[in-house]
């Protein structure tokens, strides 16, 4: 059996170390990439500069998807909080706006634009303000 030269072993070890470090840097895809339907592509140092200048929409798309998801989560959490407050004040309508189901609000919020989110939040806030006023003065529940 022929002895393996030390140079061949060191080259193989260096290649393995380089490959494992590249895989460790890549990591799992972020939530924004998953939501945007994009997968992470490994690029070397030389191609990063070109990618940044020639394909900026990929980064904006991922940021936009993450921002939209964060807005939808905030909207849903706020909607559930307001619905629970309305229920404590004795208001139990059948309208989906007053549902206490977080997932239902989140799914709706992911499917609409920011203007609709704002409009629904304002409608809910106005009605809640009216409910608080009625409760404060002891008028009962408004119709």
Please say whether the beta carbons of 63 and 113 come within 8 A. no
- Long-range pairs, 129-138, Cβ under 8 A, ≥24: 131/85, 131/86, 131/89, 131/91, 132/89, 134/89, 135/89, 135/90
Examine residue 124 and state whether it is found in any structural domain, yes or no: yes
In a domain, 115, yes or no: yes
Answer yes or no: is 80 within a domain.
Answer: yes
**Count of domains for the chain:** 1
pLDDT digits (tens, 9 = 90+) for 49-100: 555 554 445 556 678 889 999 999 999 999 999 999 999 998 888 888 999 9
Give the tens place of pLDDT for each residue, 102-113.
Answer: 999 999 999 999
Residue 109 forms part of a structural domain: yes
Tell me the C-alpha distance between 107 and 26, whole Å: 30
Identify whether 55 is part of a domain.
yes
| Domain boundaries, position 92 | 31-37+44-137
Classify residue 58: in a domain, yes or no.
Answer: yes
Which pLDDT tens digit goes with each residue over 8-50? 667 766 666 565 655 555 555 555 555 655 544 544 454 455 5
**Does residue 16 fall inside a structural domain?**
no
Q: Is residue 81 part of a domain?
A: yes
């Amino acid at each position: 059996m022929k002895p393996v030269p030390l140079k061949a072993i060191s080259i193989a070890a260096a290649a393995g170390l380089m490959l494992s470090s590249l895989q460790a840097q890549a990591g799992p895809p972020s939530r924004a990439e998953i939501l945007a339907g994009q997968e992470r592509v490994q690029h070397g140092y030389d191609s990063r500069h070109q990618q940044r200048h020639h394909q900026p929409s990929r980064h904006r798309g991922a940021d936009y998807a993450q921002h939209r998801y964060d807005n939808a989560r905030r909207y849903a959490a706020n909607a559930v909080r307001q619905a629970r407050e309305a229920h404590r004040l004795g208001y139990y309508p059948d309208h989906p706006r007053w549902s206490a189901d977080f997932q239902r609000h989140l799914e709706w919020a992911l499917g609409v634009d920011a203007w609709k989110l704002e409009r629904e939040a304002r409608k809910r806030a106005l009605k809640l303000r009216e409910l608080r006023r009625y409760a404060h003065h002891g008028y009962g529940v408004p119709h």
